[in-house]
Chains A and B, each alone.
Chain A
Amino acid sequence: MSKSSQPIDDFARELSRETRDAVLSSVVTRTAGRKAKLEADYKDPDLLRRLAGKVKQHTVEHLDEYLEQAEAALTKNGAKVHFASTAESARETILEILRNKGATRMVKSKSMVTEEIHLNDFLEKQGVECVETDLGEFIIQIDGDTPSHIVQPIIHKNRRQVAESFEKHGLGAYNDDPQTITHRARKHLREKYLQSDAGMTGANFVSAESGRIVIVTNEGNARFGMAANGLHIALVGIEKVVPRDKDLGLFLNLLGRSATAQQLTVYTQFINGPRSKSQPSGPKEMHVVFLDNGRSKVLASKERDILRCIRCGACLNVCPVYRQTSGHGYRAVYGGPVGAVLSPLLAGDDFPKYADLPKASSLCGACHEVCPVNIPIPELLLRLRSRANKEGIKSAGAPPMAPFARMATSPKLWQTAMTASRAMNHLPITMMPIQPLQAWLKIRTLPKWRGGEFRKWMKERGGVNSGGRNE
């Protein structure tokens, strides 16, 4: 068997057709929807992408200043601002906030950054119940699974699978009607909201100017998580800051359209402080925890552009590799093109563990084309490949490049090789010398070798010279 030793290739090979097709059909629809919406709504959507890219690039390049501004604005409004440089310190900080209030029941809205620090497991061990309230995340939680997409966590599951796990977890007899499933979740989670004593969220953006934290959800779960209890904690990656309120308009317009083909996500919340005297309801305490967890290292690298990412998922949806693997193929919290860049970088010293991910791309560039903040993902992948190469990290199944370079810089060697390759026509493919080529040929044919033919023809016409080389 020609089993490739690239883990993501193996993963894709072993992924069930059912799962692959679930992912594929969903992202094809999303990709088409995104494009149609942007093109219907704007004469030149690219103009906005480029602008947003510049605003965010500017922000990350001045992150120290904007973080301080955001901190000051939030503090002035009565929110408590914390910083955490590692996942561990973030977990401890959050636990301490909860302990101080005696909170033991927390409801959470969808947040990739809490996945990143594995918050749920930790808090559960400390006796805090954490309930995911986004429908998809809730299903992930009861299944003990992990999200396979940053916007649609259960893209890899179909309704039958969801119905089965609802039945298994005592949420009613088997019924795979999505309406029924949603209704049961509504009922179940409603109780959790009402009994909760803390609400946890991430943030999509933070305006440095006003400290406003923007959280968007379609389900309304983030709002509900802050409607019935007295404590709101937001865990926010330091790169989520944008300079001004005005810029929120820019990013919200792009986020909704890129993620879900919506002009605006249904619930868009702007929060920059706890409940004041003139507000009849809402949490009396608001804590914001800014998380580094490797981001400052990314900031120091030449791949810092990836920090512009607004987690819209468009690059996952359009990526031909993601379409064959789902997010789980990427073995980390962030999958798809953005994950292939971010995971190796956030891994810090564990870079070699994820150094294969940047290679798992045909560099087709579709991700760059759809990215609302214009991140040149293929370029970043190449930079990481170069880094892996410099660090001498082996890549399974990759042909070595030194012999190629030797050949390609010597016209004599090159021409001989090109002509000699003609001999291959007479070899049965199973006897071909290079192992990877056999894998290639299992599912494809190669055209007839015609080494040297064109050169001969060209020479006969007299169009050949020695070029600009001065040897």
Chain B
Amino acid sequence: MLMATCLSDVFFADMAKATVEVLESVGCEVIFPEDQTCCGQPAFNSGDFPAAEKVSRYTADVFAGDLPVIVPSGSCAAMHFHGTQLLFEDKQDTGEVESLAGRTWELFDFLVNGLGVKKWEGELNKRIALHHSCHTRGTDTGAAMETLLGSISGIELVKVGTPEQCCGFGGTFSVTFPHLSGEIGQVKLESVLEQSPDLLVSADMSCLMHMGGLAEKQNMDIETRHAVQVLRDVSLASQ
């Protein structure tokens, strides 16, 4: 089952489509439960645990069953498997939430470690800077993304300085602390641009939205793309 994320709902239709196409191309059947909304992270991060609990339970209900749930965002996936542990620590009746946590995969982790896809056919002659989203710390997403993109011939992956640094988005953080968020993003953006890549790629759309938005405002020349879009485009080109 696919959890497309709320950002795909409003902004990133193409990324969501690419996710479906990529999953199908490796033999998956993709089901999109229509009633899905959001993982509940905005409320959770704001400290409004009761509101987050409602959304989280609702989502667990929408995704009930035993199919793996694939999320093209490390941050929403982490909400399912890390966030809920804290959110539900003293709560009863957590079966569905726990079940969802156990079945949730971040997309690239799923492709590489779940399905065993280690090589992606195709060619793309571009310098790509990778941004590792903070919520994929401690999971295998970063390495998985590097494996797959690195296997595409012609792609040159460039290292960005201070890879541990956040893009500054942080969801509601960017709204409540606009200056901090912007400056953090700026520092990150500069370290990306230092490498003069053709493309800035991440497995999390929200980081890209933030950095892309900052860059566009300053007329900086940097194209952003979700890693799954790169996979899809490469496949299309080689057909």
Contact = CB atoms under 8 A, between A and B. Distances in A.
A and B touch in the complex (CB under 8 A): yes
Contacts of A366: 134, 137, 164-166
Contacts of A323: 184, 187
Given A408-B40, A411-B37, A467-B33, A2 B178 contact: yes
Interface stretch (B10-18, B105-113, B143-151, B228-236): B10-18
Contacts of A324: 180, 183-184
A413 to B, nearest CB: 9
Contacts of B64: 467-469
A359 interface: yes
Contacts of B216: 444-445
B49 A436 contact: no
A92 interface: no
B17 to A, nearest CB: 6
A454 B16 contact: yes
Contacts of A383: 86
B37 to A, nearest CB: 4
Interface in A386-408: 386-389, 395-399, 401-402, 404-405, 407-408
B101 to A, nearest CB: 15
Contacts of A436: 175-176, 178
A448 B216 CA distance: 13
Given A408-B38, A411-B37, A443-B182, A450 B13 contact: yes
A388 B49 CA distance: 11
A414 interface: yes
Contacts of A407: 37
Which of A32, A383, A397, A447 has the most chain B CB atoms closer than 10 A to its own CB? A447
Tell me whether chain A's interface is mostly helix, strand or loop, or mixed. helix
A352 to B, nearest CB: 13
28 contacts: A4-B177, A8-B180, A12-B179, A31-B164, A323-B184, A324-B180, A363-B134, A364-B165, A365-B137, A366-B164, A395-B176, A397-B175, A398-B46, A402-B48, A404-B51, A405-B54, A408-B55, A414-B37, A414-B38, A443-B214, A453-B13, A454-B13, A455-B32, A457-B17, A463-B31, A465-B32, A465-B34, A469-B35
Given A450-B12, A455-B32, 10 more contacts: A12-B180, A324-B180, A365-B134, A385-B45, A402-B51, A443-B178, A444-B185, A448-B11, A455-B9, A468-B63
Interface of B: 1-2, 4, 6, 8-14, 16-17, 20, 30-38, 40, 42-49, 51-52, 54-55, 58, 61-65, 86, 134-135, 137-138, 162, 164-166, 168-185, 187, 209-210, 212-214, 216-217
